[in-house]
Chains A and B, each alone.
Chain A
C-alpha cells in the first residue's frame, strides 16, 4: 500500500510539520509494505526537495507549474488526486493545516476516502485501520476506524518525533490536468508577514490578552518574543478589538496550536482560550490575579504585573546567549 504525503512549501522549503507528516507516512508505509511518496506543490529547488529522503520518502513528485504558483485550493486538490491515482496510494497523509484541510477534503471527495483529522499516533492495524485523533478541540481523543479503501490522515503537530537519516529522495517533475473550477476562484493579492515562523508551525509562542491593556503596550511582549525567537499570539478579545491581527488569535474559534512552550501574559484562561492551546507541552502564565483560572492549566506561573515581569524575562533570555 503506497503512502502519499501532501507536503506544504514555505518560501521554497518543506514546512517542518510537513516533514513530520512525511516521517509519519514512511512509518505507515513500513507497516503496510509500500512506497513513501511525497507530493510538493509550488516553487522549490530539487536540492531542497531531496531532503524529504531524510524523513523516509523515496520519491518526491514536484508540481511546480505556473498555475500552481498561488495556493489555488481546487488546482492543488486536482493535482493531489491525480498523484494519488497515478501511484495507487491507499493512504494520503498531511500535516493538519487550514490549507491542507481545504485541499485534502476535495481529494477525499474525489476518491471517496474517509478522513481522520488531528491524528496523534501511528495507526493500529490489528483490527482494520484505526487511528487515535484529538477531538472536542483538544479535550478528548477518539479511536477511529477508517473503513474506506483510500484513507486521508491529517497529522497533529508533535504527533511523532522524526528520526532523520542521510537518505535523499528522487525528485520527479509532475503535472496533472486541472479542472475548470480552478479558474473560478482567483487570488488577487496575498498579504503575509515574512521572516517569522507561523503559529501552527511555531515551537515557542508568547501570547497576550486583555491584561496587556492596549496595542501601544505590546512592546515588552514583542521584545521577549524576539529574544526567544518566538511567534506572537493573542486572545480573541485582543484580535476582536484590532489590537493585534486576526491570524494571531488562538483558541476554540482561532488557531489551534501545539508549541513546546506557550507563555500567556494577561490572559485569564477562559475555557475557549484553553481549547486552542491545551496541546502545548509547557504552559507559563503571567497574571496579576492569583485566582486566574489559567494557573490551573499551567506548568509554571508568576503572579505579577506583565509589564514588570516581561522585561526581566527578556533580560534573562538575552543573558543566556
Chain B
C-alpha cells in the first residue's frame, strides 16, 4: 500500500509538471513552429488570459466560461498584435523578437498602471482528495486531463480540419499554398491568434492557483521556452515528448531534492539536449524519417 501510494504520488508529481510544461509551451510552440516567430510577449498573453478570467469570474461567470473568455480575449489581442506589428516583420525575425519584447513590456507595465500591483484572485476550486495517505488537489488533476485533451484536440485540429491542412501547407511551402488559392496572410493571422488564445487559456487555467500580478507571465516563460527549444519546431513531434522528458527530470529532482534542484536540473537537461539535438526532438525525428 505504501509503495502504491508513493508511485501514485510521483505519477501525480510528474503529471502536474508535464501539464504545466505542455500548457505553458503550446501557444509559443505553435507560433514558433508554424510561423518561425519567436514571441517574447507570450507571457503577457498568458497574463491577459488570467486577468480576463479572474475579472469574468468575479463578475459572476462560472469558472470554465470565464477561462474560455480569457482565452478568447488573448486570442483577439494576438490577432491585433499580428495585424499591427508582427505581420510587417515576417522577413525580419530578429526585429520580431525586439518588437514582441517591446509589446511584452508595454503590456505588463500598462497592466501595472491600470490594475495596480496586485489584484484579488479567485480561489482554487474542487478541494483535495486523499488516496493512499497522500493528498491531491482535485483542480490539478483536472489540469493534467486538460493538458492531455489539448494535445489531442490540437492534433485533430491540424490533421483533420480543412484549416489545419491549409495551415500545414502554408508552413511547408508558403508560396505554393498561396498559388493554390490559400490566403496565407489570413492563415498567419489566425495561427498567431490561436497561439495567443492557447496562452490565454493557460493563464485562465492557472489563474485560480496563482497570485494575480502584472508580471505573472514570467512564471511560465522559462518553462515555455525550455520546452520549445528542446522540442524543436514541430508542435506534436516536439512539444509533447519534450514536456514528458523534462517533466520526468524536473518532477524527479523536485521530489528528491526540492524545488530549486528541480529547476536547476531542468536547465542542465536543456543544455544537454541542445548539445545533442540542436534542432530539438522533432528535428531529430524528422531527419531520421526523411
A binds B: no
- Using a CB–CB cutoff of 8 Å, the interface residues on chain B facing chain A are none
- Using a CB–CB cutoff of 8 Å, the interface residues on chain A facing chain B are none
